[in-house]
Amino acid sequence: MNTIIRLMANFQRSLLPLIAVSLLSALGFAQQKNGDGKDDMILSAMHAELERSRSQLKMEQVAAPYYIEYRVFDLDQYSAEAAFGAIRGDARIRFRFLRVVVRIGDYKQDSYSGQGEGTLDFLPVDDDVLAFRHQLWLATDRAYKAAAESLTAKQSQLKQLNIDQPVDDFAHADPVQSVGSLVKLEFDAEPWKKMLQDASAIYKSDPEIETSESRLSFQAVNRYLVNSEGTIVRSGENLYEMNIAATTQAADGMSLTRDTGYSVGSIKELPTAADFSARATKLAETLKGLRDAPVADEEYRGPVLFSAHAATTIFSTLVGDNILGHKPELGKNARTTGGFAASYKSRVLPDFISVVSDPTISSYKGESLLGHYEIDDEGVPAQRVSVIEKGILENYLIGREPIRDFPASNGHARAQIPAGNPMPHNSNLIVSTSQPVSKEELKKKFLDLCQQRDLQYCYSVETFGPNLLPRLIYKVWTKDGHEELVRGAAFGDLDTRALRTDLIAAGDESHVDNHMQKIPHSIVAPAVLFDELEVKRANQNKEKLPEYPAPALEK
């Protein structure tokens, strides 16, 4: 069935990003309730084929599998896109994706690497046990053969290497049975499309806006996981995302981009038409503000204050990616692959900052969090993990692939929809301070520092774009505290070292930043003050302004 995937891939490439799918045959699946899953066609097909493979699958001269895992993602997604006030496309797509992992060997050393990491296939969206089992049967057969080849390759590679401190390939985990409710996607598309049209019409108020787009993606994701250790998990979640993005150019040609959006777990949390439109208007205003703003100075070294929103980006980039317990490739002695690989039990943040990853909570001070789940994508119950305690790195986030000193999963293996391997990933990353400072105090502290350094102004950052480039950054004048937007700034040394040594204070109010892509997660952080950072002029290409003016609007 590789053919199907290829065909689908080709088709999707040609029609990206909008693909529609009909739902006429989705009747059976949405009505099931919590229970033992025995009445669930998908679970029973998975279970039946798993049992057959577990007891019978064996090739001559190849060990029988010691572990088999089936995972199904059932995705129902509606997406729509508008540009310049008009719909450019909308589509509904529904498919079921299967991933089969067969492991040969044992927990200490097994076939899980390269092609042994599983096989993928589509499953029918019609509920038919035999058609399902047929696909499971073939995918299992492919996975087993791939595992056999992979184990041989791995063993011959290991012979070439000298491993000092061997770590197991796969962690033991207790079987879990949890059959949760399924979700469906129910909404009327028209009002949402209208909202996108209205939001993307902001170009009408500003002829210098060069692109204005608005998109949404609504999903119902139902997950099924069955493994040969006895784990049976079913769960469903809804995800809703709406975005607005616009670009313009300053008079000197500098490209300027703003985007904003909502990622929530319930349709009720999406903005009203009025709120969404107001957000778009605000975005257009800040874009105009940026266009008219002066360019950042060549050189600055001094205090920088980051809003709680900007702080979520910093912690996500500099902490979030570095606390994942990815096992390094064969023969590498490091503990993990990230920037904190050598920081276990060491100081990575100032002693008043702590960080937890907590998938067990679904909201923070009334705001919902997207990183909530009960059981991870390897069937391990979610756990609150204290990652950094008083500045010291105490834990990594891991799944069932152990790393040195971390022999068991802490329930953080998560898979990208629809076909990713489960990998260590953040859930709800919550940054807290033991010495919270009020907003006013924080600003005062900031301005005091500026004064002490005899600086005429200091920088404060409201939001970031990609790659830790500030989008909204202000000069805050020391003499009276007034703020002036600038553009084209970049940081010289905003890195893990600065986080450890230059972060000197944190605020008492946190911002919740929800992300739907690529794996739903949240970051919660307070505003932070650095006593010294380098801010310079971004090395940004300046394009020419459009050669001729935009078309005049027709009423």
Partner 1 sequence: MKNRSRHRALGCLFAVVLALVAHSRAASAPKEKSDVLLSTMHDEMQRAQSSLGKLDPAPYFLSYSVYDQRTAMVMGSQGELINSLQTRHRSADVTMRIGTAALDNSHSQNRASARTSGSLPLDDDRNAIARELWRLTYEEYRKASKAYLNVKTKTQVNAQEEDTSPDFSEEKPTNHADYKDVAVNPDQRRLEKLARQYSGYLRKYPYIYSSVVVINAQNTRFHFLSTEGGEVVAPNAYIRVAIEAETRATDGMELMRVETFQAESIDHLPAEAEVGARVEKMASDLKALREAPVAEPFDGPALLSGRASAVFFHEVLGHRLEGHRQRGEQEGQTFTKKVGQAVLPDFLSVIDDPTQRKLNGLDLGGWYEFDDEGMPAMRVDVIKNGILKNFLMSRLPIKNFANSNGHGRAQPGLMATGRQGNLIVSSTKTVKDSELRQKLIDEVKKESKPYGLYFEDIQGGFTLTQRSAPQAFQVLPVLVWRVYPDDRPDELVRGIDIVGTPLAAMNRIQLTGDKTDVFNGICGAESGQVPVAAAAPAMLFSEIEVQKRAHSLNRPPILPSPVDEGASSGKNAGAQQ
For residues 164-223, which are near partner 1 according to CB under 8 A? 203-204, 210-211
C-beta atoms surrounding 251 within 10 Å: 9
2 or 155, CB closer to partner 1?
2
Rg of the chain, C-alpha, whole Å:
26
Distance CA 506, CA 433 (A): 6
Q: How many residues bind partner 1 (CB under 8 A)?
A: 73
Distance CA 271, CA 263 (A): 10
Question: Taking CB under 8 A as the rule, does residue 127 contact partner 1?
Answer: yes
Minimum distance of partner 1 from residue 162's CB (angstroms): 33
219 or 395, CB closer to partner 1?
219
> Which listed residue (188, 365, 456, 553) binds partner 1 by CB under 8 A?
553
Question: Of 2-21, which residues contact partner 1 (CB under 8 A)?
Answer: 2-4, 6-8, 11, 15, 18-21
17 or 407, CB closer to partner 1?
17
> Which listed residue (30, 47, 66, 95) binds partner 1 by CB under 8 A?
95
8 or 538, CB closer to partner 1?
8
Distance CA 531, CA 303 (A): 4
Minimum distance of partner 1 from residue 184's CB (angstroms): 15
142 or 223, CB closer to partner 1?
142
Question: Taking CB under 8 A as the rule, does residue 251 contact partner 1?
Answer: no
Site mask, partner 1, residues 379-418, x = CB under 8 A?
----------------------------------------
SS3 assignment for 433-459 = ECCEECHHHHHHHHHHHHHHCCCCEEE
Question: Taking CB under 8 A as the rule, does residue 504 contact partner 1?
Answer: no
Question: Taking CB under 8 A as the rule, does residue 56 contact partner 1?
Answer: yes
Closest CA to 223 of 181, 170, 173, 265: 181
Question: Of 444-473, which residues contact partner 1 (CB under 8 A)?
Answer: none
Contact range with partner 1 by CB under 8 A, out of 122-130, 265-273, 423-431, 511-519: 122-130
Distance CA 281, CA 278 (A): 5
Question: Of 129-168, which residues contact partner 1 (CB under 8 A)?
Answer: 129-131, 133-138, 140-141, 144-145
Contact range with partner 1 by CB under 8 A, out of 126-134, 271-279, 399-407, 451-459: 126-134
Specify the DSSP element, H or E, that contains 75. strand 67-83
What is the length of the chain? 555
The contacts of residue 470 (CB under 8 Å, 6+ apart) are 310, 461, 463, 464, 489, 490, 491
- Token pair of 48, please? 């039946």
Closest CA to 136 of 110, 172, 100: 100
Specify the DSSP element, H or E, that contains 274. helix 273-292
- Token pair of 133, please? 């089992």
Question: Of 518-547, which residues contact partner 1 (CB under 8 A)?
Answer: 543-544, 546-547
> Which listed residue (57, 334, 392, 469) binds partner 1 by CB under 8 A?
57
133 or 500, CB closer to partner 1?
133
> Which listed residue (54, 63, 66, 84) binds partner 1 by CB under 8 A?
84
Minimum distance of partner 1 from residue 517's CB (angstroms): 21
> Which listed residue (66, 107, 122, 352) binds partner 1 by CB under 8 A?
122
Cis before 17? omega within 30: yes
Side chain identity at residue 433, one-letter code: T
Minimum distance of partner 1 from residue 187's CB (angstroms): 19
> Which listed residue (30, 63, 91, 408) binds partner 1 by CB under 8 A?
91
Question: Taking CB under 8 A as the rule, does residue 59 contact partner 1?
Answer: yes
Question: Of 271-330, which residues contact partner 1 (CB under 8 A)?
Answer: none
Question: Taking CB under 8 A as the rule, does residue 63 contact partner 1?
Answer: no
Question: Of 15-54, which residues contact partner 1 (CB under 8 A)?
Answer: 15, 18-22, 24-25, 27-29, 41, 48-49, 52-53
Instruction: For helices 273-292 and 189-200, give the axis angle rounded to 10 degrees.
Output: 20
The contacts of residue 433 (CB under 8 Å, 6+ apart) are 352, 353, 354, 506, 507, 508, 526
Question: Taking CB under 8 A as the rule, does residue 493 contact partner 1?
Answer: no
Distance CA 378, CA 361 (A): 19
141 or 367, CB closer to partner 1?
141
Closest CA to 182 of 352, 29, 353, 14: 29
Distance CA 244, CA 199 (A): 7
Closest CA to 395 of 488, 381, 404: 404
Q: How far is CA 313 from the centre of its chain?
A: 12
Minimum distance of partner 1 from residue 206's CB (angstroms): 12
Minimum distance of partner 1 from residue 549's CB (angstroms): 8
